[in-house]
Amino acid sequence: MQEVQRGVPLPMGAHFHGSGVNFALFSRHASRVHLELFERPEDAEPARVVSLDPGRNRTGDVWHVWVSGIQPGQLYAYRLDGPYQPEKGHRFNFHKLLLDPYARAITLHSDWDYGPARGYDPSQGDLSPSKLDNTGAMPKCIVTDDSFDWQHDLPLRHHWSKTVIYEVHVRGFTRHPSAKTAHPGTYRGLMEKIPYLKELGVTALELLPVHEFNERQLPEVHPVTGQPFTPHNYWGYNSVGYFAPKASYSTTGSQRQQVLEFKTLVRALHQAGIEVILDVVLNHTAEGNELGPTLNFRGIDNAIYYMLADDKRHYRNYAGTGNTFNANHPVVRNYILDVLRYWVVEMHVDGFRFDLASILGRGCDGKLLANAPLPAQIAEDPVLRDVKLIAEAWDIAGAYELGNFSERRWAEWNGRYRDDIRRFWRGDEGMLGAFASRICGSADIYAASGKGPDNSINYVTCHDGFTLNDLVSYSRKHNEANGEHNHDGADDNYSANYGTEGETTDAIIEMMRERQIKNFLLTLLLSRGVPMLLGGDEFRRTQHGNNNAYCQDNETSWHDWHRLETHAGLFRFVQSLIAFRHTHPVLSRESYYTSEEILWLGPQGGPPDWHHPHAKQCACFIQEEAEHALLIMFNAGMDAVDFHLPPVASGMRWRLVVDTGHETQQVPLIVGADDMLIDTSIYQLSMRSSAILIAE
C-alpha cells in the first residue's frame, strides 16, 4: 500500500520528493479535494483516490499531499468540491475531473469533455451544474521528471539586430506528403527541416502555440444560420495546459515523450544557431464562457482565475473567446510567471510572443492599468531578463498600445508596418512618408516612449491573414471553407489580384505578382527593426484566399513543398537578401538613422515630395562606411521612372545588386559582376519595382 503523508505546499504541481511524489494545488474556495491516480489514459475509474484533509493537507490556499512509490509516467487528476454559486463567481462541480494547471504533460485524448452536450442542461443554462461524470472523456496529467541530456546547451542570445524570425506551425510545416519527412507533423518532423532553415538563413523560429490544447474547438453559434457548429482548432489559440507541450506533435505517444521530443527539438535548433520563440496565449483559456466546459481553472477556483462581469455569472470577454484570464490578480500573476520561467529554465526556449498582450495590462475589473504590474514584472524578472519578449499590443475590446506597451524591454508586432507597406506597394495615394518611416524603424511610433527600431517586429504577413502569395493574388478574402459564410477574418487586407482573382496561367499577371512579392520581401529585409517572415512565403505558399485558416488542418494550411521546386528562384532571392542584411549591419542597427547615415531623395535628386498624394517614388542613400554606400530605390507607380544617382567619392562606382523589375535576375548579386556596373548618372526603374545599388 502506498504511504500518504502531509506533503509540502511548494513547488506547485507534481514533483519528486524523497521516494515519492509531492502534489500541490491552489484553491482558495474549495471545500474538498481528491487526488485521483489512474493506470491508463482512457480509464473512467481511478485506480486510487487520495482524499486531502483540509486541516492536515492544506497550507493557506494550497492543498498538498505526498504519496510514496510513484514513478514517472503515473497518471493523475483532481476532483474538487465547493460552492456552485455562479452569482458569486463559484462553479465547483465534484462530477468533473480536473487537470492540474501545473501538469508538465497531458495524455493524448481524442474525445475531450467539450461543450454543452457534456456540460450543462441547455434548458437551465449555466445555473444547473451537470451531474454527468466526465472521467472517461478527459485526458489525464502525467508525472514527469526533468532528466534530459542537454549536451551543454546554452542560450544563444542573438542580438535583435542579428535576428530574422520565421513564424511557423509545428504540424503544418511538415504534415504535407511533399515534405518527405519520416515524422510528418511533429517536433521530429520539424527537426528534419533544420538544414533547410539554416540554408535559408533565419535565426529564430516563432512557433504557433505548442501548449496543450484540444483540436475539437468549442461549439459556436453560426453567425448566419444561428445553429451550433464545431470548427476544428488547428492554430491552437485555446490553451488548456500551459506547462505541457502538445502531445499530438509527438511521434511516439504521449507518456512523457512529448516533453523529451520538444527538448530534443530545442537542442537541435540551438546547435544550428536558431533560437526558439513560443507564441503564448495567456489572455484566455479553452473553457470559454459560462456555458463552456469545466476542464481545470473553472473548477479549481473560477472567481480567482477569470475576470468576471459585475453579475459574477458572466465573463468579461476581451479576447473574443468567451473568457479572459485574470492576469493581474496576484495568484494568476504568479502562475503566469511560473509558466514562463519553466519554459526558459527547463525547456530552454529563448523568448515569447504574447497573444493579445494588452489583456496582460487589464486589472481585475477589466480596465487598463496605468502602470500594469505584470508586463513590468515579466520584463524585470531575474530569470527572464535575457529572453526575447514580443507583445501583440492590442486586444479585441479596443485596447491599442502599439508603440508604448510597457517598458523598453518589450518588442511589439508592428501592425502599422504591415498595413503601410501593403498600401504603398498596392499604389495607394499619400503613403510615401509612412513608407519611409517604416523603413527607418518607425520612430514616429516608438521614439516618444523611449523605444528604438529593435522594438519593432516588422512583418508583411503572419499566420493571421493572407499569405504573401495570396496578398498579391486575391482582392478579397475567401473563407467559405471555414463554415461561417465568409463572415470571419479581416476585411481590410490592403491586397490586390493584379488582373484576376486567384490562381492564373496568365504570364503577365504572374510576372507582376512575382515582382510585388519581391518588392515586399526586399522592403522587409532592408528595413530597420526586426524582420519576421511567415513560413512558406519564400516559396509562395497559398491558402487559396483564406485569411483566417484557424480551423483548416488540411492542405489549405499545410506547407506544400512542391512549390519550393516551382519557386526555387524566390527562395534564393530571400536567402540572398537575408545574407545581404547580415553583411550590411547599417541596415539593422538598434538605433534610428542619423542625418549622416541616410538621405532621402526623389527621382530628380532633390528631397522627395512627401506631401503630394500622387508621389509614389523615393530613394534612400545610406552611407555605410567611408568606402561603402547603398542606394535603395522604390517605385510603386504604374510608369517607369528615371532616378538621378547621387555622386560618390572618387574611385567609387555604382554597381547593381538587385532590381525586382529584371525578371531574369533571380538572385541579388551580393558581389556583382563587371557587367552590373552603372556607367550613367541615371538609372531607370520599372513600374512597381525596387532596386539596390552599392558604391564601393
pLDDT over 90 for what percent of the chain?
A: 86
Rounded CA-CA distance 133/97 in Å is: 8
Helix (H, G, I), strand (E, B) or coil at 166: strand
Mean pLDDT of 32-40: 97
More confident residue, 648 or 404: 404
CB 668 within 8 A of CB 576: yes
Residue 117, pLDDT score: 44
pLDDT at 95 over 50: yes
Whether 355 sits among the annotated catalytic residues: the reply is: yes
Q: Assign residue 54 a region (left: φ > 0; alpha: ψ between -120 and 50; beta: otherwise).
A: alpha
Weakest-pLDDT range from 117-121, 156-160, 509-513, 650-654: 117-121
**Residues facing 617 on adjacent strands:** 635
Taking the CA atoms of 151, 157, 162 and 166 in sequence, report the sign of the dihedral they define: positive
Mean pLDDT of 391-400: 96
Mean pLDDT of 416-427: 98
Query: Rounded to whole angstroms, what are the CA distances from 222 to 116, 218, 486?
Result: 16, 12, 11
The whole-model pTM stands at: 0.96
Residue for cell digits 486510487? 48
Residue 217, pLDDT score: 63
**Residue range 345-364, pLDDT digits in tens:** 999 999 999 999 999 999 99
Residue 226, pLDDT score: 63
**Residue range 279-300, pLDDT digits in tens:** 999 999 999 999 888 999 999 9
Mean pLDDT of 648-659: 90
Kindly indicate the confidence band of residue 673, based on its pLDDT and cuts at 50, 70 and 90: low
Write down the catalytic residue from 206, 287, 392, 464.
392
Spatial CA neighbour of 380 closest among 405, 418, 410: 410
Residue 475, pLDDT score: 98
**Residue range 363-376, pLDDT digits in tens:** 999 999 999 999 99
Weakest-pLDDT range from 115-119, 429-433, 629-633: 115-119
Spatial CA neighbour of 670 closest among 583, 568, 550: 583
Weakest-pLDDT range from 228-242, 267-281, 384-398, 616-630: 228-242
Rounded CA-CA distance 543/557 in Å is: 6
Whether 392 sits among the annotated catalytic residues: the reply is: yes
pLDDT at 316 over 90: yes
Kindly indicate the confidence band of residue 667, based on its pLDDT and cuts at 50, 70 and 90: low
Rounded CA-CA distance 639/660 in Å is: 15
Kindly indicate the confidence band of residue 55, based on its pLDDT and cuts at 50, 70 and 90: very high
Mean pLDDT of 500-522: 98
Write down the catalytic residue from 113, 355, 401, 537.
355
Mean pLDDT of 237-263: 92
